Chains A and B, each alone.
Chain A
Amino acid sequence: MIVTTVAQEQNNKLHPLKFTLWVAIASIIMMFAGLTSAYIVKSNFSGWRTMAIPKIFWVSTVVILLSSITIYVALQKFRNREMQKYRALLGTTLVLGLLFIVCQFIGYSELWSQNVRFKGSSGAGQFFYVITGLHALHVLGGFVAMAIMFLRSFFGKTKSYSAVPVEVMGIYWHFVDILWIYLMVFFLITA
């Protein structure tokens, strides 16, 4: 909110906030690239333990894909000034986001009970916890931002008709979605 008003008059170019987000996404990609390449390097070492991915992660994949669709439609509704539908869809996205994190958590406990632990010799499981845990943190960050945005749409003192915050939110949410699909595919192939 605070940061959105600088240089509103920039009309010909990408909005600076959106651009900032794209650079941030590049940074986040670098972090996950570092982690997944570390995984590839390590998986060739002796003593590597593999793991089976619990089924529940397919559920979270579907959930986060759905949430991407709902936030996409929410943005359309916001642009058309259909605020009731916008709020409803944003709320649905929030619920789906929470559901995703819950699914992840269930998946982790399932893995944990299958004796995939932190301690001991290295393996896919240790990386899986760290990498997908970091991804979940990024989803959680987006969830908090979206919750604030959701509350503001009800109680905000000033009415904002700028679609930029919603667009920024949407881009970020699609990003964590795509990131999750990349990670899912990555672990399916390698683990």
Chain B
Amino acid sequence: MSDILNMQPEIASREVGHKEQHVHHHKETFITKYIFSTDHKMISKQFLVTGIIWALIGGLFSVLFRLQLGFPDHSFPILETVFGRWAEGGKIHAEFYYALITMHGTILIFFVLTAGLSGTFSNMLIPLQVGARDMASPFMNMLSYWFFFIASIIMFSSLFVQTGPASGGWTAYPPLSALGQASSGSKVGMDLWIISMALFVVSSLLGNLNYISTILNLRTKGMSMTRLPLTIWSFLFTAILGALAFPVLLSGLILLLFDRNLGTSFYLSDIFVAGQALSNEGGSAILFQHLFWFLGHPEVYIIILPTMGVVSEILAINARKPIFGYTAMIGSLLAICVLALFVWAHHMFVTGMNPFLGSVFVLLTLLIAVPSSIKVFNWLTTIWRGNIRFTPSMLYAIGFVSFFISGGLTGIWLGNSTIDIHLHDTMFNIAHFHLVMGVAAFFGMFAGVYHWFPKMFGRYMNNTLSYIHFWVTLAGAYLIFWPMHYQGMAGMPRRYLDKSMWVSFSQFHALDAMISVVTIIVFLAQILFVFNFFYSMYKGRRCRSINPWSATTLEWTTPINPGHGNWVGEIPEVKRWAYDYSKDGRDFILQTEGPGENESVH
């Protein structure tokens, strides 16, 4: 505590004429540096490493249940080794399969692609790119990670309770999630799930408050809002969405907790369990769906917006061209952010919604295609005739655009209530959201990790391994999810363990087997990435240049391994926007460089 107190005024000091070096001199122990750190860069790494561990767990789950889905007739001793009595005889129990998909969704959506993604890049880049020594409140930032950590521990421990983890789907719809009698996963596992998610909401709120106030209040001199890199704009909108949407989920979960444990009837009405009528009356399960999807839909933008910013930045840097349509990019981020809050009911077209209301939500949903296409065309025109450097991060950024297009187009299908009635809860839906927010967000995340790895650890990741990782993942992701569109159009439902009793789906057996084999290969490629990540952390090629990618933004004006406080001496002043590439015969111009003669700056 006293360490922190001594340190803060120093790192915060921005007095003009303060000539001493601003690096902190106090002694850092292992614990204050690596564990209870208030340095945004260390917190970012903590989020990233925790996210990687979660991604391995969540990914492994999908590989294991994919084994069963691909080869329903076989038994796999490895399943029994991993899952024990949940997979006796090497076959996953139907009930445990629900637990697996629930945890797969929860882990990847919340713990990896929300906390792992925003936590990593918002923390790493916001202070570095706006020119601040740390977040507005480093202490709250640390709390944000530790709430996430406790939420992680609780979620992880729920995997080991006797009745199994939550198994009502990541959406936790009542009555399945509200009644312990509904399934074994709805017993203590569900309570742990709710508590973990409540802590997760607290963590994400603490983070988001910090991100917003840092971006709006702690920008360095000259850094007007329109000189911000697009990464920062996207983090800002992500944080606003999170701050407005997560509390509504929290209120929904609190009511759920009451229904579960205190006998209230917020979501329950007229239910018979084993012939016995419950006393609950007047509740509505649809109410939960409204509260849930009011977060749930913005959630997919909370996942995809940060990667949009990351990709915009990386495409411009590696195409050596200014980003095309900077203002349009901000406008489309804003439009997506606003629309995201008003489309939640498109997840509920089949709940018996008034068709007129449904058509309003169809209209609002399809409107999102406009800003999304603006972004896609701007990315394409940014790299159009650029002097492209195919670094691993650039490949991933291009891969992101590819997946965003191919996954986004099917969104237009599902956004139409009439088509959605046919496609709802089929594999088509699985294919859609895995491509557009699963794989695409992962590609954006990989792009960011490869790109900012030198800033995080002062070393590069291995290129050869990165290229192998990229091509296997790109080809594999399309091989896995593309065929699912056909399965879905044929009516194959999602969340079914064994479809062999339907003759109409027998044509898909070989396809399912192929998907499962590719899943294993792609998972192995991700292990390659994890190996590359940790190996390069210690043994990677050292970064010798403070600006290895010849970028213009402020993070590349700090030392190669910046200390707490980021800049030695004063924070640089910003004199131009972030995208002066290939201008006036020069390859790039740093944001700190003033305008030349006869030069008009943005």
Contact = CB atoms under 8 A, between A and B. Distances in A.
Interface of A: 1-3, 5-10, 13-17, 19-20, 23-24, 26-28, 30-35, 38, 41-42, 45-49, 118-123, 126-127, 130, 134
A3 B137 contact: yes
A75 B266 CA distance: 42
Contacts of B140: 3, 20
A3 B245 contact: no
Contact of B247 (A16, A34, A38, A119): A34
B405 interface: no
B138 A30 contact: no
A16 B217 contact: yes
Contact of B282 (A8, A16, A123): A123
A3 B138 contact: yes
A172 B246 CA distance: 20
Contact of A26 (B12, B132, B244, B263): B244
Interface stretch (B207-215, B317-325, B528-536): B207-215
B263 A20 contact: no
Given A5-B12, A16-B214, A38-B266, A45 B139 contact: no
Given A7-B14, A16-B214, A118 B4 contact: no
Interface stretch (B251-259, B462-470, B515-523, B545-553): B251-259
The 8 A-B residue pairs with the shortest CB-CB distance, nearest first, are: A121-B281, A47-B282, A31-B247, A119-B263, A122-B282, A34-B248, A16-B136, A122-B265
Contacts of A27: 205, 208-209, 243-244, 246-247
A112 to B, nearest CB: 12
B291 A10 contact: no
A126 B265 contact: yes
Given A9-B14, A16-B214, A24 B205 contact: yes
Contacts of A17: 136-137, 213
A14 B214 CA distance: 12
B137 A6 contact: yes
Contacts of B262: 118-119
B269 interface: yes
A42 B136 CA distance: 40
A23 B282 contact: no
Interface in B145-202: none
Contacts of B216: 19
A6 B134 contact: yes
Given A20-B213, A122-B266, A122-B281, A5 B287 contact: no
A6 B284 contact: no
B408 interface: no
Nearest to A20: B213
B263 A118 contact: yes
A48 B248 contact: no
Contact of B248 (A31, A49, A130): A31
B117 to A, nearest CB: 20
A34 B264 CA distance: 18
A46 B269 CA distance: 10
A109 B488 CA distance: 54
A47 B268 CA distance: 12
Contacts of B265: 120-122, 126
A6 B15 contact: no
Main SS at interface, chain B: helix
A85 to B, nearest CB: 28
Given A42-B266, A42-B287, A118 B282 contact: no
27 contacts: A2-B4, A2-B5, A2-B139, A6-B8, A6-B11, A6-B136, A6-B137, A14-B217, A16-B213, A19-B136, A19-B212, A20-B213, A24-B205, A27-B247, A30-B247, A30-B248, A31-B250, A34-B291, A35-B255, A45-B269, A45-B284, A47-B269, A47-B281, A119-B264, A119-B279, A122-B264, A130-B258
A141 B149 CA distance: 22
A2 B248 CA distance: 30
B359 interface: no
B244 to A, nearest CB: 5
Nearest to B11: A6
Contacts of B205: 24, 27
Contact of B8 (A5, A19, A24, A119): A5
B294 interface: yes
Contacts of B281: 47, 120-122
Contacts of A23: 208-209, 212-213, 243
Nearest to A33: B248
B319 to A, nearest CB: 35
B136 A121 contact: no
A31 B291 CA distance: 10
A138 to B, nearest CB: 12
Given A19-B217, A20-B140, A33-B248, 17 more contacts: A2-B4, A2-B5, A2-B139, A3-B139, A6-B8, A6-B133, A6-B138, A23-B208, A27-B209, A48-B282, A49-B282, A119-B279, A120-B263, A120-B279, A122-B265, A122-B280, A126-B258
Contacts of A1: 5
A79 B279 CA distance: 57
A122 B269 CA distance: 9
B353 to A, nearest CB: 13
Nearest to A127: B266
Contacts of B4: 2
B559 interface: no
A42 B284 contact: yes
Contacts of B568: none
A155 B132 CA distance: 33
Interface string B365-403: 000000000000000000000000000000000000000
Contact of A7 (B217, B250, B251, B287): B217
A38 B210 contact: no
A119 B216 CA distance: 47
A169 to B, nearest CB: 15
Contacts of B254: 130, 134
Nearest to B214: A16
Contacts of A49: 282
Contacts of B491: none
B282 A46 contact: yes
Interface in B268-292: 269, 279-284, 287, 290-291
B264 A118 contact: yes
B280 to A, nearest CB: 7
B218 interface: yes
